[in-house]
Amino acid sequence: RPDLVKENIDGEAIEWAASRLRRCDERRKCLIVLSDGAPVDDSTLHANGDRYLDHHLRRVTSEIEQAGDIRLAAIGIGHPVEQYYKQGITISSPEELESTLVQLINRLLHPSP
């Protein structure tokens, strides 16, 4: 919808969520991101350049995936997330979310060798 504000700083939000997860006692930790677009914040992009948030998100996801203590995945609703997440799935409508989320949770909890 054109009237909705479409600004978000995905990398920062994921860093925050990962830091909270790391304080939990659970042995296995999974973080699933739901996304409807690339990271955008007009003020941040104006001050730092058009690719700043994109690069930041890529750095954050790469660091989490390399650390290996959190299983990170994403579902893109009408937006390809595979460019940011190794475990990314793109769907075309919200109606696909339920079955895709179950599939993704299963994949995270039972990774193939």
Range 44-57 burial, b when 16+ CB lie within 10 A, else e? bbeeeeeebbbebb
Q: Is 20 helix (H, G, I), strand (E, B) or coil?
A: helix
Mean pLDDT on 87-102:
94
Helix crossing, 52-67 with 10-22: angle to 10°? 20
pLDDT of residue 35: 87
Q: Enter the pTM of the model.
A: 0.83
Asked if residue 42 lies in contact with residue 73, where contact means CB atoms within 8 angstroms, the answer is no
Judge whether 82 and 30 are in contact, CB under 8 Å.
Answer: no
The residue assigned the tokens 């003020």 is 43
pLDDT for 46: 67
SS3 67: helix
pLDDT number for residue 87: 92
pLDDT digits (tens, 9 = 90+) for 61-89: 999 999 999 999 999 998 899 999 999 99
* pLDDT (tens digit per residue) in 13-67: 999 999 999 999 999 999 999 988 776 666 666 677 677 788 989 999 999 999 9
